[in-house]
């Protein structure tokens, strides 16, 4: 089985996440995509996200009715920041015969080499980048990514899903804080959860 793990804060999950996930599923012939909300992203420690239980509820509401989309709550149950390598190891134990992919946004690529146990992680999964035309492509589905570590280094060739989707969780939170509509940016069920729990209303941007 071809399984893609899609981690992130999902604070909140929005249509951009879902459109890119479906594009990846179709382009890479994936059997399932597992959305994995982080308890606390180690790369976003400066901001406290919405409660994990609420973000889980939003993800589950957003993917309801899509049989190949799943939600994993394991990271929200672990203490401290959520590290991708721990989650991948757990999935490989449960499904030792699966081929694993790790879906990441292009904003994560330049810091990828700093992720915990990166070299082990890259041996366990195939990274797939959700691109926004920021990197030069080579062929229909490939990008080469340069990482700046004092000396530019070529990481390696990665599959990339290029689809221009100009929606971000930051934009959604900002619009809520400004009392502007987020209809059509997030699934209706997610919008209702945000309103019910009065999320993001006190944020400053």
Percent of the chain surpassing pLDDT 90: 66
Q: What is the pTM of this model?
A: 0.86
Q: What is the mean pLDDT of the chain?
A: 86
Across-strand partners of 37?
A: 8
How many CA atoms does the CB half-sphere of 18 hold within 13 Å? 20
Q: Are 144 and 109 in contact (CB under 8 A)?
A: no
pLDDT at 66: 96
Tokens of 125: 């999964």
Query: Mean of the pLDDT values across residues 37-56?
Result: 83
Residue 44 scores a pLDDT above 70? no
Residue 155 scores a pLDDT above 70? no
Q: Where along the chain do its domains lie? A: 2-166
Residues composing the chain: 205
Residue 186: DSSP 8-state: B
Question: 162 CB contacts (<8 Å, ≥6 apart)?
Answer: 131, 132, 133, 137
Residue 204 scores a pLDDT above 70? no
Query: Mean of the pLDDT values across residues 95-113?
Result: 91
Residue 11 scores a pLDDT above 70? yes
CATH of the domain spanning 2-166: 3.40.50.620
- How far apart are alpha carbons 77 and 202 in whole angstroms? 26
How many CA atoms does the CB half-sphere of 80 hold within 13 Å? 3
Q: Are 5 and 44 in contact (CB under 8 A)?
A: no
The residue among 52 and 150 whose pLDDT is bigger is 52
The pairing of strands 152-162 and 126-131 is parallel
- How far apart are alpha carbons 114 and 15 in whole angstroms? 29
pLDDT at 48: 83
Confidence category of residue 137, pLDDT binned at 50, 70, 90: very low
């Amino acid at each position: 089985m071809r399984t893609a793990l899609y981690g992130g804060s999902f604070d909140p999950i929005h249509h951009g996440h879902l459109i890119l996930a479906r594009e990846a599923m179709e382009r890479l012939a994936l059997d399932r995509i597992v959305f994995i909300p982080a308890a606390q992203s180690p790369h976003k420690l400066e901001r406290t996200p919405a409660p994990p239980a609420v973000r889980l509820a939003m993800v589950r509401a957003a993917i309801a009715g899509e049989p190949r989309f799943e939600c994993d709550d394991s990271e929200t149950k672990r203490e401290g920041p959520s590290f991708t390598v721990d989650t991948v190891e757990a999935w490989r134990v449960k499904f030792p015969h699966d081929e694993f992919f790790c879906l990441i946004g292009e904003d994560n690529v330049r810091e990828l080499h700093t992720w915990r146990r990166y070299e082990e992680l890259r041996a366990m999964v195939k990274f797939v980048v959700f691109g926004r035309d920021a990197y030069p492509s080579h062929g229909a589905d490939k990008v080469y990514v340069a990482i700046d570590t004092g000396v530019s280094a070529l990481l390696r060739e990665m599959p990339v899903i290029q689809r221009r989707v100009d929606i971000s969780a930051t934009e959604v939170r900002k619009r809520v804080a400004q009392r502007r509509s987020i209809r059509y940016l997030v699934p209706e069920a997610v919008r209702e959860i945000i309103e019910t729990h009065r999320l993001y209303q006190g944020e400053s941007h």
